Amino acid sequence: MNILTENFNTPYHSAPFNIIKNEDFLPAFKELIKKSEEEIESIVNNSEAPTFENVIEILAYSGEQLDMVSHIFFNLNSAETNDELQQIAQEVSPILTEYSSKISQNEALFNKIKKVYDEKEKYNYNEEQQMLLNETYKGFVRSGALLNEKDKETLKKISMDLSVKSLQFGQNVLASTNAYFKHITHKDDLAGIPNAILEQYAEEAKERNLEGWVVTLQYPSYIPFMTYAENRELRKEMALANGKKSFSGDEFDNQNLIKELLQLKQQKATLLGYKDYAHYVLEERMAKSPTKVLDFLNELLIKAKPYANKEIDELKALAKIDGIETMQIYDHAFYAEKLRKAKFDLNDEELKPYFPLHQVQDAVFGLTNELFGLTFEERNDISKYHEDVKVYEVKENGEYKSLLYVDYFPRKGKRAGAWMTSYKNQYKREGINSRPHISIVCNFSKPTKDTPSLLTFQEVTTLFHEFGHAIHGMLANTQYPSLSGTSVKWDFVELPSQFLENFCYEPEFLRTFAKHYITSEVLPDDKIEKIEQSKNFMEGYQTLRQLGFGILDMNYHTKGEDLEKLSIKEFEDKYTSVTQLYPVNPETAMSPSFSHIFQGGYSAGYYSYKWAEVLDADAFQYFKENGIFNSEIAAKYKILLSSGGTKDPMELYKNFRGSEPKVESLLKRAFG
């Protein structure tokens, strides 16, 4: 018996991690694909006239167990991977892509979908049914349903190659990140680094059976080093190592892989009748076209660059005092921290004792309860994939609403960064509202034998960000799984996450949870005031950094002809030059580790972070004008979140706010 092909006999049909074995996955995928294909065949072979109910609806609910096993497998491959899982992923990805292509290019199935779609004016479908029908039809067309047989085969091969190569990209970045560490044996080399961080470095050395201290490229290790280490040569060495991830000409190098991925995407777009991959992607976004995206990014660039230049001039003046004539990128975090302390008398190490992880989590739980009426209760009888993970049952009015998995600490088998994902979608069927299983994965500093996990303020905002996504998933309340929760337009999906970050800067809210982990003393008012004042500290620099990523991404997916003439490094330098504020190092490049666009779902979509900032600034302004815990506005916002992808996002937003978002809200928040 293969547990993955059976109905899980677990609380709320949760994943039985404790009894899943790696060898279960491949046979389970094959069996569940076969079962799903039989469901599709039953639609095709139905002799009755095609209807919404016997074609579109059955298709929407098909493959549920396969979807859940896919979520389990690929989430594990991100959060708790090993060599065996990575090997299985290489085998499974093309199989799943082939299965997906087989469905989307099934001519008999598409003919039935097209007939229902062509006759839609005859029927009085509700809004969600209309959206599902439109999205299903478009999805098939965008997957090649209108192509001839030869082109369908070509598209299928392209899709399989893309799935394998994007997976390989991520595995290379993880391997390259894990391959480097800096072993330090002289404490003088660690001057300036706070004791709590030194303790973390000592623990890392101990785990590697080494004396002294070890710094790695994992962010909880790397960022504090770059922020506090007085040894400039060591900062340079670490920055060089970080900038060379998958850019060293070794077995984990991603440069050729990037070109291969971009060529495949261009081939796919051309085959489907689009000018380039960006046009293909943006047809299904709020922004609609590369021109509109670049105009939006350039408008922000013009507004932000003077502020960014002024900020860097301030840092250069500080560096000059230390005899540094030409400031480099590896000096930025160090002098930014110095300036922040001078301006606001704040530094992360002073603030961290007031932000123990458990208190921050309690705060975000409490805020979610205040705004949306959700409560959280830890469950110890639900299986977990690692001992660090905790599972919570989420309730609304005493009734089960969702499961929430939280996984906070870095491990060798976990990729860097922070993200929200799901193990099970929400949907309604036959009178039953099947609720979602949501997960948050982060990389915060682990507790030591003497201290709990203490968060930097940036990590506090990171937790709120991912929790915003989680709320979007937990509140899902739609009929069909493909329109549920975070299944919205990609440039809309960051609204709930970025919106929730705003609360971290509100004094009224901060006072409820920013308390010293030993004394329980509330963070002093002057510090809270400084946090509020420092909200826009280095905002110009951060804006240009994000704009650089967005501009680079958009050009990667529109300027294929340049890629034939330029190296990855040359291409990156050409299109980010307008946003660069420091000398460019010829030995480093960020593209080979730019997982968001080459492994994740942000290809031709990285701009959406800034796009959604306009939405979140405008939405939070609405709360600010009427009270940040205003129950009436929270109720309207809850409708927006629970509606998922059942309506056009701009319509959802206008229903909530009463008007379209204004870019001025973002500019006012960022630059006053």
Residue type for 437, please? H
The answer to whether 574 and 594 have CB atoms below 8 angstroms apart is no
The answer to whether 31 and 2 have CB atoms below 8 angstroms apart is yes
Among 379, 269, 385, which residue's Cα sits nearest to residue 18?
A: 385
Intervals of CATH 1.10.1370.10 along the chain: 255-330+539-608
The pLDDT > 90 percentage for the chain reads 91
Is 349 a residue whose pLDDT tops 90? no
Predicted local confidence at residue 31, as pLDDT: 97
Helix (H) or strand (E) holding 497: helix 495-501
Q: Distance (Å, rounded) from C-alpha 228 to C-alpha 281?
A: 41
pLDDT tier, 323 (very low <50, low <70, confident <90, very high otherwise): very high
Residues contacting 634, CB < 8 A, separation 6+: 370, 371, 372
The answer to whether 17 and 384 have CB atoms below 8 angstroms apart is yes
Among 576, 581, 669, which residue's Cα sits nearest to residue 314?
A: 581
Tell me the mean pLDDT in the region 539-558: 97
Q: Distance (Å, rounded) from C-alpha 66 to C-alpha 29?
A: 7
Is 487 a residue whose pLDDT tops 90? yes
Place of tokens 């996504």: 469
pLDDT tier, 557 (very low <50, low <70, confident <90, very high otherwise): very high
Place of tokens 């922040």: 340
Is 490 a residue whose pLDDT tops 90? no
Tell me the mean pLDDT in the region 350-379: 97
Any idea what the Cα angle at residue 612 is, between residues 608 and 613, rounded to 5°? 120
Q: Distance (Å, rounded) from C-alpha 136 to C-alpha 522?
A: 53
Tens digits of per-residue pLDDT, 235-274?
Answer: 999 999 999 999 999 999 999 999 999 999 999 999 999 9
The answer to whether 625 and 665 have CB atoms below 8 angstroms apart is no
- The three-state secondary structure class of 183 is strand
Tell me the mean pLDDT in the region 33-43: 96
Residue type for 490, please? W
Mean pLDDT, all residues of the chain = 95
CATH fourth-level superfamily of 3-104+106-146:
Endopeptidase. Chain P; domain 1 (1.20.1050.40)
Tell me the mean pLDDT in the region 190-207: 94
| Residues 665, 667, 670, 672, CA torsion sign | negative
Active site residues: 466
Q: What tokens does 128 get?
A: 């969600």
Domain covering 255-330+539-608 in this structure, CATH number: 1.10.1370.10
Tell me the mean pLDDT in the region 129-136: 96
Classify the phi-psi angles of 398: left when phi > 0, otherwise alpha if psi is within -120 to 50, otherwise beta: left
3-state SS, 245-274, equals CCCCCCCCCCHHHHHHHHHHHHHHHHHCCC
Q: What tokens does 170 get?
A: 């991520």
Predicted local confidence at residue 640, as pLDDT: 97
Predicted local confidence at residue 560, as pLDDT: 87
CA 448 to centroid of chain Cα atoms: 28
Among 115, 123, 117, 108, which residue's Cα sits nearest to residue 135?
A: 117
Tens digits of per-residue pLDDT, 417-472?
Answer: 999 999 999 999 999 999 999 999 999 999 988 899 999 999 999 999 999 999 99
Intervals of CATH 1.20.1050.40 along the chain: 3-104+106-146
Among 360, 503, 466, 650, which residue's Cα sits nearest to residue 474?
A: 466
3-state SS, 425-476, equals CCEEECCEEECCEEEEECCCCCCCCCCCCECCHHHHHHHHHHHHHHHHHHCC
Place of tokens 């095609």: 50
Intervals of CATH 1.10.1370.40 along the chain: 353-537
pLDDT tier, 35 (very low <50, low <70, confident <90, very high otherwise): very high
Place of tokens 């961080």: 197
Predicted local confidence at residue 448, as pLDDT: 86
Residue 91 neighbours by CB distance under 10 Å? 12
Tell me the mean pLDDT in the region 584-600: 95
Tens digits of per-residue pLDDT, 142-188?
Answer: 999 999 999 999 999 999 999 999 999 999 999 999 999 999 999 99
353-537, what's its fold? Answer: Neurolysin; domain 3 (1.10.1370)
Strands lying side by side in the sheet with 374-378: 374-378, 390-396, 399-407, 437-441, 419-424
Predicted local confidence at residue 491, as pLDDT: 86
- Please return the burial class of 139, using the count of CB atoms within 10 Å of its CB with bins 0-12, 13-18 and 19+: middle
